Amino acid sequence: MTYKTTRKVRIGNIEVGGDSRKTVQTMWKKSLDLFSGEDLEEILNLEDVGCDILRFSVPNFRTAGILAEIKRNINMPLVADIHFDYKIALECIKNGIDKIRINPGNIGDEWKVKEVLQAAADKNIPIRIGINTGSLDKTFNDISDKAEAMLKSAESEINILEKYNFTNALFSLKSSDIESTLRANREFSRRWDYPLHLGVTEAGPLTAGLVKSSIAISQMLNQGIGDTIRVSLTDKPIQEVIAGREILRACGMYANGVDIVSCPRCGRSTFDTHEFISSVYDELYRVKKNLKVAVMGCIVNGPGEASDADIGITGAGTKVVIFKHGKIYRKVDENKGREEFLKVLEEFVR
Amino acid sequence: MTYKTTRKVRIGNIEVGGDSRKTVQTMWKKSLDLFSGEDLEEILNLEDVGCDILRFSVPNFRTAGILAEIKRNINMPLVADIHFDYKIALECIKNGIDKIRINPGNIGDEWKVKEVLQAAADKNIPIRIGINTGSLDKTFNDISDKAEAMLKSAESEINILEKYNFTNALFSLKSSDIESTLRANREFSRRWDYPLHLGVTEAGPLTAGLVKSSIAISQMLNQGIGDTIRVSLTDKPIQEVIAGREILRACGMYANGVDIVSCPRCGRSTFDTHEFISSVYDELYRVKKNLKVAVMGCIVNGPGEASDADIGITGAGTKVVIFKHGKIYRKVDENKGREEFLKVLEEFVR
């Protein structure tokens, strides 16, 4: 193995790095100024479907205060994302945040970074140095090779960290193209043992972003690179969390929760598998057990896939058939399908 | 290279296999019985966003007739997907379909397959033998190793094809799990030179399905395996087509059309990048030129990414800024953003 085993850091009640389990992160996308009770529900649901760590953009002191209040109601570790103003970082640390992310490209003079490091050291919380090709410090902006530019930026930050004996750090090196992201993270992992937060930045809308992120992140994980992942999508946070889980699962690093095998639909069946899954989506992803669930349109592949699944549902004319471990359990009218299916799911969860 | 270079087959006006460009397929998901003018528009749009080949499930003679009518209005090659009844395959061939897909697990006796082969040979159209683990012939259903079961099924079909001197064939070996799919396709490519249609079957709903498909298909393409791809998703056909394009692009096999770099959003900006992209989604994917488009929330990464893009749009307070090749082109109210953006896109397309 040419890549270093990373050291461990602790983010709230979660350990990242070394032989810790790989964790999934996402970011809150709405303004904290408008935070509501419904938003809190959404965050609790994110935790329930597998989010390990949640990050918030904190653009000013007012939102730092709001975040401090939110933190009282949430178990999962929270991260404050700070740009431009180091004083907001200090405020969040004072308020008990679990981790700070700063962007070396825009936090300014070294003495500001030093103050943040000292405050974090006092509270024993880690800092992620989040390097993005879209917002590099001017010093590195002229390097035409994006991977090289990110690595130079990382090196410069590591020199500052080490000068102040701050080792409780993680790094990310994200580009919007796969190739630079891979190259930068591989070289980083050869040279340093800071835990790596993986992602492709500004990866795009759901479909395009998932393709880029899945390919890049899985390649790194399969090579032994990466400790925590964030799939960056121009879409809802829940999709980022589920994508993170699924990438870990595809790499053999996630064994909890459902694996959904489902029919793409074709003109053969009237059972709308797409609509059915949408109607039970959050319920499925809240399951903590390792279950295989088959949602199939018709008899071509339906019973075949269902025979291999813990729970299966297949269209059959105007009815649906529900399977348990490959055996027909019930045949009900399509409009009763959801209810019966959720009952069976509930049995498996208990 | 341990994998064979595949022979070429022709599907309508498209060549698949050997050194031909890799093509993207999808499948029509609604019943042909309900086919409308709106559906025809949707199909023309699929072609416009990059679909090369479109497949229809043809469960009976009535729908075979409807498909024959549809074919008169569409340039792109069409494929008839046949299960159980070989006579429907014969009817579609008679009606001028460009390719037939049959599933060896359910088409029945060898003499039926032979009749289909003869009819296809007479019209010089190819046949895809589509092997799925969910619907294997009973003979192979008891083999516990899914990859091995698919390969045995393929071998048996190839023996029949060769017995009747039919070489105008493609194959697919699809499982709902990545590992069996990879293993089966790798071994197939070591042994035979029939063009391969790649996919993970019943891959799941959009997010989970994209993760599985992207990882599996990109690994095969990067190893030199695969001639045409279909991303199977429990979602709309347009997502399958865009996913196919993006997988090819990530593997360096697609250079036409937009590469969208877009911000996932955070609490920092009021510009809703998600909504904005949704509002110009089809227009973006209809572009035939190789363009980089950046849709960014705010000034953190916005101008940085936009400087590298052909066209960029970034939120700036209640305004949006449109960039051309990194230079600010216009600053307009957010509600004029879409219109101005599409004007600039139009200029690039012309």
Q: What is the pLDDT of residues B111-160, one digit of tens each?
A: 999 999 999 999 999 999 999 998 898 899 889 999 999 999 999 999 99
Does any CB of chain B come closer than 8 Å to the CB of residue A204? yes
Asked whether the beta carbons of residue A267 and residue B29 sit closer than 8 angstroms, the reply is yes
B263 a known binding residue?
yes
- Mark yes or no for CB contact B247/A273 under 8 Å: no
Was A266 annotated as part of a binding site?
Answer: yes
Cross-sheet strand order for the sheet of A99-102 = A169-174, A127-132, A99-102, A78-82, A53-57, A23-27, A228-230, A197-198
As a whole number, mean pLDDT of residues A278-293 equals 96
Q: Residue A305: list chain B partners with CB under 8 A.
A: 133-134, 176, 202
Cβ(B95)–Cβ(B68) under 8 Å?
yes
pLDDT of residue A269: 84
A321, β-bridge pairs: A314, A331
What is the C-alpha to C-alpha distance for residues A292 and B242, in angstroms, rounded to an integer? 27
Min Cα–Cα distance to chain B from A11, Å? 21
**Which pTM was predicted?**
0.96
Tokens of A250: 């595809």
Nearest alpha carbon to residue B205 among A284, A287, A342, A215 = A284
Query: B211, A250: Cβ pair inside 8 Å?
Result: yes
Tell me, yes or no, if A114 comes closer than 8 A to chain B by beta carbon. Answer: no
For A78-99, the pLDDT digits (tens) are 999 999 999 999 999 999 999 9
Burial class (CB in 10 A: 0-12, 13-18, 19+), B122: exposed
Nearest-by-Cβ selection for B267 from A32, A134, A294: A32
CA nearest to B284 within chain A: A205
| Structure letter (DSSP) for residue B32 | G
Residue A258 has pLDDT above 70, yes or no: yes
- Provide the pLDDT for residue B37: 96
The answer on pLDDT for B30 being more than 70 is yes
Predicted pLDDT at A1: 58
Q: Is B202 on the interface with A (CB under 8 A)?
A: yes
- Looking at beta carbons, which residues of chain A come within 8 Å of B273? 234
* Residue A335: per-residue pLDDT: 93
Question: What is the Cα–Cα distance from A135 to B12, expressed in whole angstroms?
Answer: 48
Instruction: With beta carbons under 8 A apart, name residues in chain B contacting A135.
Output: 300-301, 304
Q: Give dist(CA B201, CA B103) in Å, integer.
A: 13
DSSP character string of A167-220: --EEEEEE-SSHHHHHHHHHHHHHH--S-BEE--TTB-BHHHHHHHHHHHHHHH
Helix and strand numbers, DSSP H then E, in chain A: 12, 15
pLDDT tens-place string over residues A208-252: 999 999 999 999 999 999 999 999 999 999 999 999 999 999 999
ipTM score over 0.90, yes or no: yes
Show Cβ contacts of residue B191 under 8 Å, excluding neighbours closer than 6 positions: B4
pLDDT at A59: 95
pLDDT score at A170 = 98
Label residue A2 by pLDDT band (50, 70, 90).
confident
- The reply, when asked if residue B157 is annotated as ligand binding, is no
Asked if residues B65 and B89 have their Cβ atoms less than 8 Å apart, the reply is no
Sorted by where each begins, the domain ranges of chain B are 9-250, 258-349
Is B36 within 8 Å of chain A by CB? no
The partner residue sitting opposite A211, judged by closest CB among B210, B261, B302, is B210
SS3 A221: helix
A278 contact partners, CB below 8 Å, separation of at least 6: B205
CA dist., res. A66 & res. A236, Å (int): 21
Residues of B in contact with A132 (CB under 8 A): 301, 304
Cβ of A134 within 8 Å of Cβ of B273? The answer is no
Q: Is the CB of B299 inside 8 Å of chain A's CB atoms?
A: no
For residue A37, how many other CB atoms are within 10 A of its CB?
8
> What's residue A300's pLDDT?
85
> How many Å apart are CA A78 and CA B95, to the nearest integer?
62
DSSP-derived letter for residue A349 is H
How many whole angstroms separate alpha carbon A51 and alpha carbon A149? Answer: 31
Closest residue in chain A to residue B220, using alpha carbons only: A215
Fold equal for B9-250 and B258-349: no
Question: Does the annotation flag B251 for ligand binding?
Answer: no
Please give the share of chain B, as a percent, with pLDDT higher than 90: 89
Contact B301 A135 (CB under 8 A): yes
Residue A172: pLDDT over 80: yes
Contact B5, B227 (CB under 8 A): no
Of B124, B114, B183, whose CA–CA distance to B148 is shortest?
A: B183
What's the CATH number for B9-250? Answer: 3.20.20.20
Q: How far apart are alpha carbons A148 and A35 in whole angstroms?
A: 39
* The residue to which tokens 């683990």 are assigned: B133
E strands, chain A, in order: 9-11, 14-16, 23-27, 53-57, 78-82, 99-102, 127-132, 169-174, 197-198, 228-230, 258-262, 291-296, 311-316, 319-324, 327-333
pLDDT higher than 90, residue A141: no
User: Would you identify the CATH topology of the domain B258-349?
Assistant: Sulfite Reductase Hemoprotein; domain 1 (3.30.413)
| pLDDT score, position A255 | 81
d(CA A168, CA A109) in angstroms, rounded, equals 20
CB contact under 8 A, A207 and B57: no
